[in-house]
Amino acid sequence: MAEKQKILICGDVEGRFITLFNRVEAINKKSGPFDLLLCVGNFFGVNNKEFDTYKFGIKKVEVPTYVLGPNKEEHVKFYPEDGSELCPNVHYLGKRGVYTNSTGIKVAYMSGISSDGQVGGNEYTYTLEDAVFLKNLCKRGSSRGVDILVTSQWPNEVMRYDSTNKIKVGLNMHTNVAAWLALQLKPRYHLSGLEGQFYERAPFRNPVGNDSSLEIATRFLGLARVGNANKEKWIYAVSLTPIDKMSIKDLMQRTTDETQCPFNLVELENILFKNKRKPEENIQYFYDTNSPEPEQVKHKKRQKIEFDQSKCWFCLASPSVEKHLVVAVGNSVYLAVAKGGLVDQHLLICPVEHHQSSIALPDSVVVEVDKFKDALRSMYILKQMEPVFFERNYKTSHMQIQAVPIPLAAQKELKDIFRDEAEGHGFVLEELESHNRLDQVLAKGVPYFCVELPNKTILYTKIQSSMNFPINFGRQVLASGPILNLPDKIDWKECVVKKEIEEKLVASLRKAFKPFDFTE
């Protein structure tokens, strides 16, 4: 497992900079080094003269410090542009966004206070549209989520279901928008200030939604004001392994004090969006995953679906095929560069004619698929790599076997990593017996996912209509920290390059594949 990173968190500073940084320096000497300090709530106050001590280099800030933006109109003047340095080693995160430090810790942040549904924000408020933007931004990367969410305001109803809650004073600055954002992002830690009280909530397990995200637990922390007279805790230390470098088993580990989630997505969206939440449709080519099981439709004839091969992206005779990606063509199978590949040598093995899955292939085509696999093994091993082959017969119409090379050193515990990831998403990957073929355990037309490991072990699962199967599951596992450590490349759409670059890559791969090309 990757080394844990040490993080300090503090509440509203409100101009007490010497108190803060003296304490941080002492903690850093005793228990450090710490990787970063996150400040929530009001960083500036009525009197900010102490800041000049650090701004002009009289005193130094020992730990890289990141602060949120203004929560009051009178504080706007202290903040320059997003992402700028307020003084040496003190950085303003910005209005909204995701910050990833050099060790891989991901921090999603939203500065200011909620505008309470008003259209348009200003320098010290944020809107629901800002929250939606941040949610979409976070979803583009790793589907695992973020390590930390920082909002100055507490999320509304965060204390619900927490029997250990000892806070008696009512909250003044809580908001439904922060609650909705927390429920969408599922951070491991959610940090807030402004209330002047310390509150460490029992962890709660986030429900899995329609986005195939993991059922991650969140810990909420509300920090008191720096140097407060009541001596409530205003600084807190945590040690975290970056979420993208953790095993699913560790990430999903439960604690004895967990509670149910205090937030209800339907309630929040009814309040915030002023409408009833509509269920998302689960669309599937050739196979309707929302349809009843066969025994439920034995008296109902399924409508035959006609498929237009001229519109298929992968039928080689189709005008829709991007032929500049093709590396080699056999009698019944071709090899192509994967669009938006995980790595440069990420390739696809596809049948020339239209076949939906590998278990529906004629025997002669299966033989040629195996020849391509063997050829790729020979090519990859020259680079000290071996391929992982995976296929998703779900929400796709033409068989594609993805071939992704991974370093030899990354193969350790590969089977366990795939199985742990599957368990985290609520399904089981079965191991195919060596004497069986996939078409002997899966019926034609049934959606499935399968992966062939470098040692030729095959893991598979039948995708049930009730499952929330993640479309990018294969890429997600291979992109994880223990294997390729490419968390920002899970979605192929985010990895697409210009055609000129693709053409150069194809030319390079044709040359590399030539010694093993049996089709010539």
Spatial contact of 8 and 27, defined as CB atoms under 8 Å apart: yes
All structural domains of the chain, each given as residue ranges with its CATH number in brackets, are 5-273 (3.60.21.10), 317-516 (3.30.428.10)
Confidence check: pLDDT of 431 > 70: yes
**Whether pLDDT at 450 is above 80:** yes
Q: Does the pLDDT at position 517 exceed 80? A: yes
What would the mean pLDDT of 77-105 be, rounded to a whole number?
87
Task: Give the pLDDT score at 298.
Answer: 39
- Per DSSP, 326 falls in state E
Q: How many other C-beta atoms are found inside a 10 Å radius of the C-beta of residue 75?
A: 19
Identify whether the C-beta of residue 29 lies closer than 8 Å to the C-beta of residue 245.
no
Distance, CA of 387 to CA of 129 (rounded, Å) = 43
**Block residue for tokens 């005008």:** 319
Asked if residue 141 has pLDDT above 60, the reply is no
Phi, psi of 87 (to 5 degrees): -160, 170
Residue 210 has what pLDDT?
Answer: 52
Q: Which helix (H) or strand (E) holds 133?
A: helix 128-139
DSSP state of 3: P
Residue with tokens 């701004």: 55
- For 219-244, the pLDDT digits (tens) are 999 999 999 999 999 999 999 998 88
Lowest mean pLDDT among 67-71, 170-174, 276-280, 386-390: 276-280
Residue 370 has pLDDT above 90, yes or no: yes
128-138: pLDDT as tens digits? 999 999 998 88
CA dist 146 and 152 (Å) reads: 17
**Mean pLDDT, the chain, integer:** 86
Phi, psi of 480 (to 5 degrees): -70, 165
With a cut of 60, say whether residue 120 has pLDDT above it.
Answer: no
In the chain, pLDDT over 90 holds for what percent of residues? 60
**Mean pLDDT for the stretch of residues 79-99:** 87
